[in-house]
Amino acid sequence: MRGNKIASVPYALWLALFTVVPLVIVLFYAFSDDAGAFTMDNFSYMGLYAVVFFRSFRLAVLCTVACLILGYPMAYAMSRLSKTGQTVALILIMLPMWMNFLLRTYAWLTILENNGLLNHFLSFLNLPEVNIINTPAAVGLGMVYNYLPFMILPIFTSLTGMDESLIEAARDLGCNERQVFRKVVFPLTIPSMLSGLIFVFIPAVSTFVISKILGGGANMLVGDLIEMQFLGGAYNANMGAAISVVMMVVIMIFTAITNRLDSGEEGGVLMS
């Protein structure tokens, strides 16, 4: 028992140094002014950024829903493949993630810009060109592309780890393939779907690189706003920390709601 406590010391120190201490610093800046005195004034300006918050959450929700709509069929199709096919599919899904995040985003810039690959392809087909760069649609495409694997992987893991005897029992009881999916497969994958929602929504709602590159700065998100407060010309660490705290609270609420739904769905599956 004592050996376990000693072994946990490095992890506790790591957690304290790189999680607790930065969080305390952010909280200190959020609830203080330039002189270090306690104040709540930093939060009184949140209404000025309501449009930015709304835009960020709208794009994050749309991105999460799009990843779920695209990711579930892809994960299900991958789970039906042979072991070799599953390995190849996983490599294809993971391969872009081995590249730098900035490179992946700049690749989309090359595709979507006005003289990019997409418009060249449309011109080749004698179709009208599209002006999608520097729009919310371009930002949304970049977000879905970068975060889609975070939805596919947990669902795929759940599908491949499912007890086949449950599916066989459903078939023995007279269920066809559609009924097996609706009554057995889909309910058992709901916890992994909820995990995917968290994995996608949290980075999507706080992203700033994608909006800066593909949105051209015209579609400011909360991540851009925080970066501007800390690194931009309008340096205001106290305001940036306050916005960060608000985002942390919102994300914690979203995570708690999702975990509650996860627990409820697990109970519902066990009772059904």
Residue-wise pLDDT for 155-186, tens only, equals 999 999 998 888 888 888 888 989 999 999 99
pLDDT single digits (tens) 63-109? 999 999 999 999 999 999 999 999 999 999 998 888 889 899 999 99
Query: Is 185 in contact with 162 (CB distance < 8 Å)?
Result: yes
Using the predicted structure, report yes or no on whether residue 147 has a pLDDT greater than 90.
yes
- Classified as helix, coil or strand, 38 is strand
- For the chain, give the percent of residues with pLDDT over 70: 94
The single residue listed with the structure tokens 């007279």 is 174
Using the predicted structure, report yes or no on whether residue 5 has a pLDDT greater than 90.
no
Task: Indicate the average pLDDT of the chain.
Answer: 90
The single residue listed with the structure tokens 């990711």 is 71
Q: What is the dihedral of CA 128, 133, 138, 142, to 10 degrees?
A: 120
Cite the DSSP H helix spans in the chain.
Answer: 2-15, 21-30, 50-79, 83-94, 101-112, 117-124, 136-160, 164-172, 177-180, 186-206, 209-214, 222-231, 237-271
CA-to-CA separations, 88 to 25, 62, 92, 93, in angstroms, rounded? 45, 29, 6, 9
Report pLDDT for 271.
41
The single residue listed with the structure tokens 């893991």 is 157
Tokens representing 258 are 């999702």
Q: What pLDDT band is residue 241 in, cutting at 50, 70 and 90?
A: very high
Q: Name the residue among 180, 160, 159, 158 with its Cα closest to residue 170.
A: 180
Domains of the chain: 47-271 (1.10.3720.10)
- Classified as helix, coil or strand, 39 is coil
pTM for this one?
0.88
